[in-house]
């Protein structure tokens, strides 16, 4: 199996020999924020307390066991907007055997329930990215992901890699922008359709795959 091409198995369809390793002393330690693990992890009895979300310096330090979406219900965006942050993985793949992604969530509704809706763009430290979501069933916008030269690659396992990731809703498009380059742009009609989303308005947040460790800084929403 080519681990480099098995992209973003965050929906409970992890490798058969792989499991989300719970974080000791886990939980959410930033006031106002909540988290919801993916269905596959929840069915195994894992919760947000098996990952860890803390304030560190000017940003957040996130260490995951199970894949999880973090959000603050008061943070909502409507109309045309951009949500962005910088993700720094200090030691690439230090908690996993192949690249795992992290990124920005928008259009969230029901995020703390068993029927969440959201759209996210996430990057891997091997130069790839994915656009996916829940509705509540998982859906894909670019299949198992794709490579783009704008997405940074770690020099080696254990080396640092940083990605600036943004999701933009503007006009009739929704776009993923990584390191200031638009790597994927989709017609709203491809997103606002049966089996996908009903609206691009909603809560915005952060998404991490299982067994990841990274810093998030500069998390913000701006109106376009």
What's the confidence (pLDDT) of residue 15?
42
Topology (CATH level 3) of domain 3-223? Jelly Rolls (2.60.120)
Entry pTM: 0.91
pLDDT at residue 28 above 90?
yes
What is the percent of the chain where pLDDT is above 90? 89
At residue 152 the predicted structure's pLDDT band, cuts being 50, 70 and 90, is: very high
pLDDT at residue 197 above 80?
yes
Nearest CA among 74, 101, 115, 116 for reference residue 213 = 101
Stretch 31-59: mean pLDDT: 95
Instruction: Please state, as a whole number, how many other Cβ atoms lie within 10 Å of the Cβ of residue 170.
Output: 14
Check: CB of residue 108 under 8 Å from CB of residue 71.
yes
DSSP the chain: --GGGS----SS---TT----PPTT-EE-STT-EEEE-HHHHHTT--GGGSEEEEETTEEEEE-SS-EEEEEEEEEE-SSEEEEEEEEESSTTTT-SS---EEEEEEEESTTSSS-EEEEEEE-TBSEEEEEEESSSEEESSTT-EE-TTS-B-SSTTS-EEEEEEEEEETTEEEEEETTEEEEEEEHHHHSSTTS-S-S-EEEEEEE-SS-EEEEEEEEEEE-
Distance CA 3, CA 158 (A): 17
pLDDT at residue 9 above 70?
no
pLDDT in tens, 69-113: 999 999 999 999 999 999 999 999 999 999 999 999 999 999 999
pLDDT at residue 7 above 60?
no
What's the confidence (pLDDT) of residue 16?
37
Distance CA 127, CA 161 (A): 10
Mean pLDDT of the chain: 92
Domain ranges (residues) in the chain: 3-223
What's the confidence (pLDDT) of residue 23?
96
Distance CA 87, CA 123 (A): 9
Peptide bond into 187 cis (omega under 30): no
Check: CB of residue 207 under 8 Å from CB of residue 152.
no
Stretch 60-67: mean pLDDT: 97
pLDDT at residue 60 above 80?
yes
At residue 19 the predicted structure's pLDDT band, cuts being 50, 70 and 90, is: confident
At residue 168 the predicted structure's pLDDT band, cuts being 50, 70 and 90, is: very high
CB within 8 A of 162, min separation 6: which ones? 86, 87, 88, 89, 152
At residue 18 the predicted structure's pLDDT band, cuts being 50, 70 and 90, is: low
Instruction: Please state, as a whole number, how many other Cβ atoms lie within 10 Å of the Cβ of residue 35.
Output: 27
pLDDT in tens, 102-139: 999 999 999 999 899 999 999 999 999 999 999 999 99
At residue 12 the predicted structure's pLDDT band, cuts being 50, 70 and 90, is: very low
Lowest mean pLDDT among 2-6, 162-166, 182-186, 218-222: 2-6
């Amino acid at each position: 199996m080519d681990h480099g091409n098995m992209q973003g198995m965050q929906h409970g369809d992890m490798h058969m020999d792989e499991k989300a390793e719970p974080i000791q002393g886990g939980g959410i330690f930033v006031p106002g924020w909540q988290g919801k693990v993916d269905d596959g992890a929840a069915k195994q009895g894992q919760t947000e307390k098996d990952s860890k979300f803390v304030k560190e310096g000017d940003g957040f330090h996130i260490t995951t066991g199970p894949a999880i979406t973090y959000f603050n219900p008061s943070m909502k965006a409507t109309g045309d907007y951009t949500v962005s942050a910088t993700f720094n993985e200090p030691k690439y793949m230090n908690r996993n055997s192949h690249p795992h992604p992290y990124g920005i969530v928008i259009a969230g509704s029901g995020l703390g329930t068993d029927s969440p809706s959201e759209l996210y763009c996430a990057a891997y430290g091997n130069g790839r990215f994915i656009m996916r979501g829940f509705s509540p069933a998982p859906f894909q916008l670019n299949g198992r992901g794709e490579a783009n030269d704008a997405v940074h690659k770690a020099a080696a396992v254990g080396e640092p890699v940083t990605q600036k990731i943004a999701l933009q809703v503007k006009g009739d498009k929704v776009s993923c922008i990584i390191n200031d380059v638009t790597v994927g742009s989709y017609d709203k009609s491809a997103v606002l359709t049966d089996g996908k989303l009903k609206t691009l308005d909603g809560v915005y947040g952060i998404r991490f795959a299982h067994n990841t460790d990274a810093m998030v800084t500069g998390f913000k929403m701006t109106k376009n």
